[in-house]
A and B are shown apart, each in its own frame.
Chain A
Amino acid sequence: MTELMVETHGLRRTFKGRGKTVEAVRGVDLRVAPGEIFGFLGPNGAGKTTTLRMLATLIEPTEGTALVAGADLRREPGRVRERIGYVAQGGGSDPGMTGRGELVIQGRLFGLARKEAERRAVEVLEALDLVEAADRTVGTYSGGMRRRLDIGIGMIHRPRLLFLDEPTTGLDPQARAHLWDEIRRLRDGGATIFLTTHYLEEADALCDSLAIIDHGLIVAEGTPIELKRAIAGDVVTLGLNGSTDGALNLLRSAPRVREAELSDGTVRLYVEDGDLALPELLRLLDGAGMPPSSISLHRPSLDDVFLRQTGRSLRDEAA
């Protein structure tokens, strides 16, 4: 099999601030295969960006080792930098420069001669649909255009591995869909994409494989389908009036119910054969004099995966 594009072992990072240390990343093992879109999913503050910045040589790991694009992160950060592209969440272009100007200088920073960099800038501008805006200053760009330019800056030197930190945060749905297409096209062109996101839909729709991080630790990994399948069966959500404890115990002992948990006043059940379980559950609760105020059945989503692993809903945080 081909060499992994990213492989980390026990990657750790603590920050020391006034008297207290914060463990932002607490031992992360990641494996990213070449040619895939790898999604790093987690709520704000989970350690996504810290991990990404370590892998991009911007901050040094406190502990652990990593191989990034075939180079050792700690021993050869210079070689890592030559082989990767990095696009920060806030981007990295100056509003006073033109889009073309930023692309050309970035190419030259990677050693391209001026002519070559200019030619490559035209290619990137065309690929990202920025030709008309090429000679305007970045300050006049819309959010989506700016994000596309930032990605163009990150890929000007044709890196094998492109890191994107929250690439679609703050974009309207149309611009986001447009950007997803660009990212897929990059992958189809042979690049490996490592992106962070706190959007479940994005992770589900865009990523070939995923790792979920929470409180600095990986809590689940796999393809979106694998992750969802791991929550075998279906999810039933129940709203209850009055005493929930009694109902919870009752539900736990019901047939087909594998697991029941309470969060924010609603009960979530992981059940087999949800369509059969639903009427049974209703009868059970009615018989016990505890009719539910609401009930719904759905196929597991990545949100369920997240909720199952962390006990919290990512959706609440993202909102």
Chain B
Amino acid sequence: MKLIRDTWLIYERSMYLTLHNPVWVVLGLGQPLVLLLFFGPILNSVAVSSAGFPPGGAFNVFVPGLLIQIALFGAAFVGFGLVAELRYGVVERMRVTPLSRAAMLLGRSLRDVVILVAQGLLLVLVALPFGLRIDPAGFVVSLGLLALVGLVMAPISYSLALMLKSEDALAPLLNGISLPLLLLSGILLPMALAPDWLQALAKLDPLSYAVTAIRALFNGRFADPAVATGVGLMAVLAALAIVAGRRAFARAAA
């Protein structure tokens, strides 16, 4: 009970701060929208004349990928906000209260997930006129999967922020992790088009399973084993990330 109350308190405070300085929310959404508008139409022409493109229109391949991209980049960089909070002394101040350590992580992550889902909804609404055809039930589950990806990335980002305590150290590390994750996940183009060695490498990228799952969901193929694999894998990783993140918050800072 206390955990839920504390999580809500931290969520409320974080959300207040985010909504009063929404630069990151807008920037985070800007890139996928640009890709959708300037890259989507080209992809559409390619898809028509290319074998090996997965079923569904180009936008049914592309938009799910963009959703995962929002989750990846949106949540991967939340650690920056925490570095600032560390510098302001906010984290230390709250450590000397009865506040649950897990709530410090969960409250912030919940804020990140809510923003993510809102961005996902907006992106899909914008994509509909381009010819995205979407299975409504599948879309709802997709948003859940999106939230799970956020719950993997945000705690990792927070843990790294608590460890490194500096934007200068955090930026190259997060970029170094997220760019290969992004390219290997088949977000921009399906990995089916890639040479074999690259496809083998992509199998090591957990996000590629999330992307495959979300594409199946968009087309309403719930029975596709990729759905269970993607959702299951993300759930396990999210649990691990939350455990690690909680520990990072609990560990007394030197």
Contact = CB atoms under 8 A, between A and B. Distances in A.
B48 interface: no
Nearest to A157: B97
Contact of B96 (A58, A95, A105): A58
Interface string B233-254: 0000000000000000000111
B92 A88 contact: yes
B96 A84 contact: yes
Interface stretch (B13-21, B61-69, B169-177, B185-193): B13-21
Interface of A: prevailing SS: loop
Contacts of A230: none
Interface stretch (B82-90, B109-117, B134-142): B82-90
Interface string A57-90: 1111000000000000000001001101110101
A309 interface: no
Contacts of B93: 86, 88, 92-93, 106, 153
Interface string B90-130: 10111111110000000000000000000000000000000
A109 B252 contact: no
A15 B253 CA distance: 12
Interface string A218-251: 0000000000000000000000000000000000
A59 B254 contact: yes
A45 interface: no
Given A94-B85, A105-B9, A56 B96 contact: yes
Given A93-B90, A94-B88, A96-B20, A58 B13 contact: no
Interface residues of A, number: 29
Contacts of A78: 98
Contact of A109 (B89, B92, B94, B254): B94
A111 B97 CA distance: 10
Interface residues of B, number: 23
Contacts of A59: 252-254
A78 B95 CA distance: 10
A146 B93 CA distance: 14
B98 A110 contact: yes
Most buried by B among A15, A60, A88, A92: A92
Interface in B35-62: none
Given A59-B254, A108-B9, A109-B6, A94 B17 contact: yes
Nearest to A54: B252
Contacts of B99: 109
A58 B253 CA distance: 7
A292 interface: no
A97 B89 contact: no
A93 B88 contact: yes
Interface of B: 6, 9, 12-13, 16-17, 20-21, 85, 88-90, 92-99, 252-254
26 contacts: A57-B95, A57-B96, A58-B96, A59-B252, A60-B252, A81-B96, A81-B98, A82-B98, A84-B96, A85-B96, A86-B93, A86-B96, A90-B89, A91-B89, A92-B89, A92-B94, A93-B89, A94-B90, A96-B21, A97-B13, A97-B16, A106-B93, A109-B94, A109-B97, A109-B98, A153-B93
